[in-house]
């Protein structure tokens, strides 16, 4: 039994009291960076061990599995764990200088505390093998994120946080009820145990109810169309560095829960077969892609545009999952990673360019090329990645998505997917024209610090690198599909 | 190190060099030197062709099983020498042209010009569909800054159209076609005789249509609008890129798909080529009719290009040996003829400010050499002797008679008449029409502008009398391989 899984959760927890006790703005930043770096190092070690030696688990207090709480790290966990913590670290590093202007001075140490707590919640969700603990960690991350959102400098930031609180709580209650129903049917909360016992439980209407509740809860948390309203409001009013962090993480956690619960734990009872649930979600998401893309084209506020773009991209991921084929799951996993990197990069650039975090319209970014040519070219590459042009990671995602759709029974939806992917170009090009062809002077005159440059270049570089060398994304995704979801095939 | 990779690497370094020495005064000269080196390199490759043919190099596997890989085939060899040779000629022309027209920001012009040629050469060398697709998209992106080079309202709108048409068709048609090919055959390599072992006519027909519309750089209607839009660019761009490099890449890719992805037998067996013949025929006729009504010289030439490109596609799709010969020959001859016309149009616009056909009255007195070059170019387009246009049309007619599609003769005859209909007014006006208002401003032809065009003109005339080395090459290597 290795201590690694618990360390990933416990280490930040040890640092948090220190940050609160020190109450220093500067130290809280440095400590958060240190703990995130350590955490990422641990995760890479864990990833390697899991990759070469297979799944790893940790039993809390040495209580054996069905009774005690167990942490379980398989490839799927490591893949998401690595992604989430990597993005958290990138955002933390570039938050230097930013937080001072966006967050009230006396709250900065609490801001970093909440950030770490939120990330602990995410890591916990990914690592736990206990379905009730999943709920607990979900609440930890949600509570922390309410605080993070409310720190925005808008009047409406608090309102957005409260709205998120209400909607998030509704989602959480749904999940809790679903867990309750599953518990009464199987008498266990351990995921591995549950997946075995759920077969013996007779397929009754209450199990179907549990599936429905769980799905709606997850759909709210991951902002699946048509439950994406909170995401748009949050992205508009939260501090932009928090938006950057959430754009790559919080919705992806929803995707993780979706994959883990529905395709892993409940896989034995085929939860998506009831009432053709998969088909319903598939077509809803397809409609979501269309709608979100149309709306994104009409946006004049850049963060809103990117938020709707996120809704569209998430719908692609859900479409891939709902094909219910190994290729579909692989495509979704690849796109989760690639899209996180690209979208975080885009939001990060907007964040560091406009630290005041006011409404950022298309005209504000005009003339960026003459002021910050390097940032402008990074932005260009990331946008091309979003469209999915070759040599960017977006192309790899698209290749596997279209391939999976062609191989499935739903080959005819490929047309909609391709056309919407082309329509991405419409709003992307609005930005590019402003950056490169406008005669306006770029007005925001503040300096971008070296850390922020490096972070942007890392994400841009990754977008290009993952478009050329796909051993990591494609290889790991295929491995996960075979190991976790389709063992029998 | 492999020479093909070396050539591409050289072009890439050229881009970097141009970026590093981006001084307005010397950049034109550097560009000329680089294009000359690239031309010499391609001559060297042709001289030692046997060493490099059928020898593919896998650079990197970006998707398991599919790599970015480069190689050279005989069709590529022809396109290679044409594009690099004409690049050198155009580089001589463009330095002078940009100076006379007082364009600013010459350095970015030459950088993206070289970038476009890099992409074109990479398309020529690519030895599977994925590599082709990657550089096809890069070529679109590399030419976009040249189309929008003037940065005014009109060029931005046209540039957007250009981009949407080319990227849109490649995303919506070409990409799924490639993925479908990969799924059905398990490979994307170009192979003589095609890669389809088992096939049904539905899949092949669907793929043929997807590929035809997907490679919109070949400007088959209804996805041709980007080409007239691209005419806002400075003349060297219209000449080299939108009469040679970009459009011929499209046709070249379509030819390779028909010959080396589908294979002649498969297309004949499934009759999928009929779709391509149908759309190419429509394009030939409709574009010629539109060209009749264009008063702007460059637009008339652009619609003429659309029609001529479809000649090449049509000739390939007929799939008879002589028609493939005609297609390959026309790939060369149209490039030579059209670049003469565009460069001459550029000279006329630069020296006299004339951009409309109706203003060309008695132009031959002012610009005798240029007007004679226009005459040669027009003869090639119509297909009259003693120009090479006649030869390719001759082979096309034989090819049609060889096949069982005699009705296509009607298309060719009508379109030849239409071609004459829109080229003869240009010739007639410039030689015989009296000037309406006599502003007797004396103009002397700028010899350094005309010189590169004269060389191309001389080559065209010489080729007419000594064509056998090309026809034997095509006959021996491309048709009967």
pLDDT at residue B440, rounded to an integer = 57
pLDDT at residue A193, rounded to an integer = 85
Q: Is B443 on the interface with A (CB under 8 A)?
A: no
Mean pLDDT for B49-64 is: 79
Among A115-124, B52-61, B298-307, the range scoring the smallest mean pLDDT is B52-61
Is B442 contained in some domain?
Answer: yes
For tokens 């012009």, name the residue.
B109
Of B156, B168, B172, the CB nearest to A433: B156
- Contact call for A474 and B141, based on CB within 8 A: no
Span A181-219, pLDDT tens digits? 989 888 888 888 888 888 887 667 888 888 889 999 989
Span A107-157, pLDDT tens digits? 888 899 999 999 999 999 999 998 999 999 999 998 998 888 888 877 788
Residue B136 has pLDDT above 60, yes or no: yes
Rounded-to-integer distance, Cα B381 and Cα B361, Å: 21
Q: How confident is the model at residue A489 (pLDDT cuts 50, 70, 90)?
A: very low
- Contact call for B175 and A418, based on CB within 8 A: yes
- Name the residue in chain B with its Cα closest to that of A416: B172
pLDDT at residue B177, rounded to an integer = 94
Is B124 contained in some domain?
Answer: no
Of A396, A414, A425, the CB nearest to B176: A414
Residues of chain B neighbouring A390 (CB-CB closer than 8 A): 133-134, 137-138
Q: What's the mean pLDDT when you consider all of chain B? A: 88
**Chain B 180-209, residues with CB within 8 Å of chain A CB atoms:** 180, 182-183
Of A402, A426, A433, the CB nearest to B175: A402
Q: Is B60 on the interface with A (CB under 8 A)?
A: yes
What's the first-to-final CA gap in chain B, in angstroms? 28
Is B467 contained in some domain?
Answer: yes
Span A248-292, pLDDT tens digits? 898 899 999 999 998 888 887 888 877 788 888 999 999 999 999
pLDDT at residue B437, rounded to an integer = 60
- Contact call for B64 and A470, based on CB within 8 A: yes
Domain total of chain B: 1
Mutation target for A interface from B179, B202, B216: give the one with most A CBs within 10 A. B179
Q: Is B179 on the interface with A (CB under 8 A)?
A: yes
Rounded to the nearest 10°, the torsion over CA B281, B283, B286, B288 is -90
Q: Higher confidence at residue B361 or residue A338?
A: A338
Residues of chain A neighbouring B63 (CB-CB closer than 8 A): 396, 399, 470, 474
Residues of chain A neighbouring B167 (CB-CB closer than 8 A): 387, 389, 422, 425
Span A301-315, pLDDT tens digits? 898 999 999 999 999
Q: Where are the beta strands (DSSP E) in B379-419?
A: none
pLDDT at residue A445, rounded to an integer = 67
Mutation target for B interface from A370, A399, A440, A472: give the one with most B CBs within 10 A. A399
Distance from CA of B373 to the nearest CA of A (A): 37
Span A79-91, pLDDT tens digits? 999 999 999 999 9
Q: How confident is the model at residue B210 (pLDDT cuts 50, 70, 90)?
A: very high
As a whole-number percent, the residues of chain B with pLDDT over 90 amount to 34
Mean pLDDT for B322-334 is: 90
Q: How confident is the model at residue A446 (pLDDT cuts 50, 70, 90)?
A: confident
- Contact call for B180 and A406, based on CB within 8 A: yes
pLDDT at residue A361, rounded to an integer = 84
Mean pLDDT for A371-386 is: 92
By residue range, what is the domain housing residue B394?
286-481
Is B31 contained in some domain?
Answer: no
- Contact call for A437 and B179, based on CB within 8 A: no
Residues of chain A neighbouring B151 (CB-CB closer than 8 A): 437
Q: What's the mean pLDDT when you consider all of chain A? A: 88
Residues of chain B neighbouring A474 (CB-CB closer than 8 A): 63-64
Is B291 contained in some domain?
Answer: yes
Among A267-276, A439-448, B355-364, B466-475, the range scoring the smallest mean pLDDT is A439-448
Residue B65 has pLDDT above 60, yes or no: yes
Mean pLDDT for B112-138 is: 92
- Contact call for A418 and B148, based on CB within 8 A: no
Residue B196 has pLDDT above 90, yes or no: no
Span B388-403, pLDDT tens digits? 888 889 899 998 988 8
CB contact set of B221 (below 8 Å; sequence gap of 6+): B279, B282, B283, B286, B287, B306
Is B76 contained in some domain?
Answer: no
pLDDT at residue B351, rounded to an integer = 84
Residue B477 has pLDDT above 80, yes or no: no
Residue A234 has pLDDT above 90, yes or no: no
Residue B114 has pLDDT above 50, yes or no: yes
Residues of chain A neighbouring B146 (CB-CB closer than 8 A): none
Residue B481 has pLDDT above 60, yes or no: no
Instruction: Show which residues on chain A lie within 8 Å of chain B, measured between beta carbons.
Output: 384, 387-391, 396, 398-399, 402-403, 406-407, 414-415, 418-419, 421-422, 425-426, 429, 433, 437, 467-470, 474
Rounded-to-integer distance, Cα B349 and Cα B448, Å: 15
Is B393 contained in some domain?
Answer: yes
pLDDT at residue B165, rounded to an integer = 93
Residues of chain A neighbouring B182 (CB-CB closer than 8 A): 403
Is B416 contained in some domain?
Answer: yes
Of A403, A406, A429, the CB nearest to B163: A429
Residues of chain A neighbouring B62 (CB-CB closer than 8 A): 396, 467-470
As a whole-number percent, the residues of chain A with pLDDT over 90 amount to 44
Distance from CA of A476 to the nearest CA of B (A): 13
- Contact call for A422 and B172, based on CB within 8 A: yes
Residue B174 has pLDDT above 50, yes or no: yes
């Amino acid at each position: 039994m290795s201590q690694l899984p618990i360390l990933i959760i416990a280490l930040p927890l040890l640092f948090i009291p220190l940050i609160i006790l020190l109450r220093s703005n500067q130290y809280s930043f440095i400590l958060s960076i240190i703990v995130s770096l350590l955490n990422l190092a641990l995760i890479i070690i864990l990833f390697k061990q899991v990759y070469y030696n297979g799944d790893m688990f940790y039993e809390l207090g040495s209580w054996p599995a069905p009774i005690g709480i167990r942490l379980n790290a398989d490839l799927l966990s490591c893949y998401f764990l690595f992604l989430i913590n990597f993005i958290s670290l990138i955002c933390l590093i570039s938050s230097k200088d930013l937080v001072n202007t966006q967050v009230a001075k006396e709250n900065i140490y609490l801001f970093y505390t909440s950030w770490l707590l939120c990330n602990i919640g995410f890591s916990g969700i990914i690592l736990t093998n206990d379905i009730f603990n999943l709920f607990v960690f979900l609440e930890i991350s949600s509570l922390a994120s309410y605080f993070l959102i409310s720190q925005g400098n808008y009047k409406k930031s608090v309102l957005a946080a409260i709205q998120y609180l209400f909607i998030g709580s509704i989602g959480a209650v749904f999940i809790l009820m679903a867990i309750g129903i599953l518990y009464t049917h199987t008498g266990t909360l351990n995921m591995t145990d549950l997946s075995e016992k759920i077969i013996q439980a007779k397929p009754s209407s209450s199990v179907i109810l549990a599936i429905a509740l769980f799905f709606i809860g997850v759909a709210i948390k991951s902002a699946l169309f048509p439950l994406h309203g909170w995401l748009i409001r949050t992205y508009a009013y939260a501090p932009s560095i928090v938006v950057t962090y959430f754009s790559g993480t919080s919705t992806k956690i929803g995707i993780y829960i979706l994959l883990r619960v529905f395709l892993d734990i409940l896989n034995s009872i085929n939860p998506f077969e009831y009432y053709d649930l998969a088909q319903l979600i598939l077509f809803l998401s397809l409609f979501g892609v269309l709608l979100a893309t149309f709306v994104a084209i009409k946006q004049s506020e850049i963060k809103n545009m990117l938020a709707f773009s996120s809704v569209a991209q998430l719908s692609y991921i859900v479409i891939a999952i709902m094909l219910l084929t190994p290729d579909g799951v692989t495509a979704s996993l690849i796109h989760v990673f690639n899209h996180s990197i690209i979208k975080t990069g885009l939001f990060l650039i907007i964040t560091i360019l406009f630290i005041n975090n006011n409404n950022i319209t298309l005209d504000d970014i005009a003339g960026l090329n003459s002021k910050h040519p390097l940032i402008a070219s990074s932005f260009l590459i990331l946008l091309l990645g979003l469209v999915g042009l070759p040599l960017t990671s977006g192309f790899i995602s698209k290749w596997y998505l279209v391939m999976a759709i062609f191989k499935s029974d739903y080959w005819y939806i490929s047309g909609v997917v391709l056309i919407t992917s082309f329509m991405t170009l419409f709003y992307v090009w609005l930005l590019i024209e402003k950056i490169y062809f406008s005669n306006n002077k770029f007005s925001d005159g503040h300096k971008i610090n070296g850390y922020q440059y490096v972070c942007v270049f890392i994400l841009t570089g990754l977008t290009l690198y993952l478009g050329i060398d796909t051993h990591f994304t494609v290889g790991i995704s295929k491995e996960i599909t075979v190991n976790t979801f389709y063992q029998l095939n | 190190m492999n020479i093909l990779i070396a050539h591409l690497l050289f072009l890439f370094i050229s881009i970097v060099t141009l970026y590093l020495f981006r001084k307005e005064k010397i950049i034109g000269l550097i560009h000329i030197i680089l294009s000359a080196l690239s031309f010499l390199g391609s001559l060297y490759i042709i001289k030692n062709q046997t060493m490099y043919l059928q020898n593919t190099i896998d650079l990197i596997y970006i998707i398991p099983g599919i790599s970015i890989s480069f190689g050279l085939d005989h069709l590529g060899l022809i396109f290679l020498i044409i594009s690099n040779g004409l690049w050198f000629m155009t580089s001589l022309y463009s330095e002078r042209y940009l100076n006379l027209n007082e364009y600013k920001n010459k350095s970015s012009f030459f950088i993206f010009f070289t970038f476009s040629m890099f992409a074109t050469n990479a398309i020529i060398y690519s030895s599977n569909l994925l590599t082709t697709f990657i550089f096809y998209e890069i070529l679109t992106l590399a030419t976009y800054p040249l189309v929008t080079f003037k940065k005014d309202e009109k060029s931005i709108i046209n540039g957007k159209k250009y981009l949407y048409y080319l990227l849109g068709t490649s995303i919506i048609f070409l990409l799924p076609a490639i993925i479908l090919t990969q799924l059905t055959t398990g490979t994307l390599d170009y192979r003589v005789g095609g890669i389809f072992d088992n096939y049904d006519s539905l899949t092949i027909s669907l793929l043929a249509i997807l590929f035809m519309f997907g490679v919109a750089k070949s400007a088959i209607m209804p996805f041709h609008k980007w080409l007239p839009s691209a005419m806002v660019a400075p003349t060297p761009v219209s000449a080299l890129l939108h009469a040679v490099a970009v459009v011929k890449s499209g046709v070249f890719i379509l030819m390779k798909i028909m010959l080396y992805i589908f294979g002649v037998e498969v297309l004949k067996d499934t009759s999928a080529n009929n779709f391509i013949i149908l759309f190419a025929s429509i394009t030939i006729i409709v574009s010629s009719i539109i060209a009749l009504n264009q008063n702007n010289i460059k637009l008339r030439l652009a619609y003429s290009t659309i029609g001529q490109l479809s000649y090449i596609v049509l000739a390939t799709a007929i799939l008879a040996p002589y028609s493939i010969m005609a297609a390959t020959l026309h790939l060369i001859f149209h490039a030579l003829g059209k670049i003469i016309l565009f460069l001459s149009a550029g000279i006329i616009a630069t020296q006299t400010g004339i951009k409309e056909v109706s203003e060309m009255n008695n132009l031959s007195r002012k610009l005798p050499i240029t007007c004679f070059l226009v005459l040669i170019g027009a003869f090639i387009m119509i297909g009259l002797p003693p120009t090479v246009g006649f030869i390719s049309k001759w082979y096309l007619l034989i090819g049609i008679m060889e096949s069982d599609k005699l009705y296509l003769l009607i298309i060719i005859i009508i379109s030849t008449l239409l071609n004459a209909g829109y080229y003869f007014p240009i010739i007639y006006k410039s030689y015989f029409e009296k000037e309406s208002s006599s502003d007797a401003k004396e103009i002397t032809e700028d010899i350094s502008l005309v010189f590169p065009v004269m060389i191309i003109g001389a080559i065209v005339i010489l080729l007419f009398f000594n064509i056998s080395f090309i026809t034997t090459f095509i006959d021996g290597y491309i048709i009967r391989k």
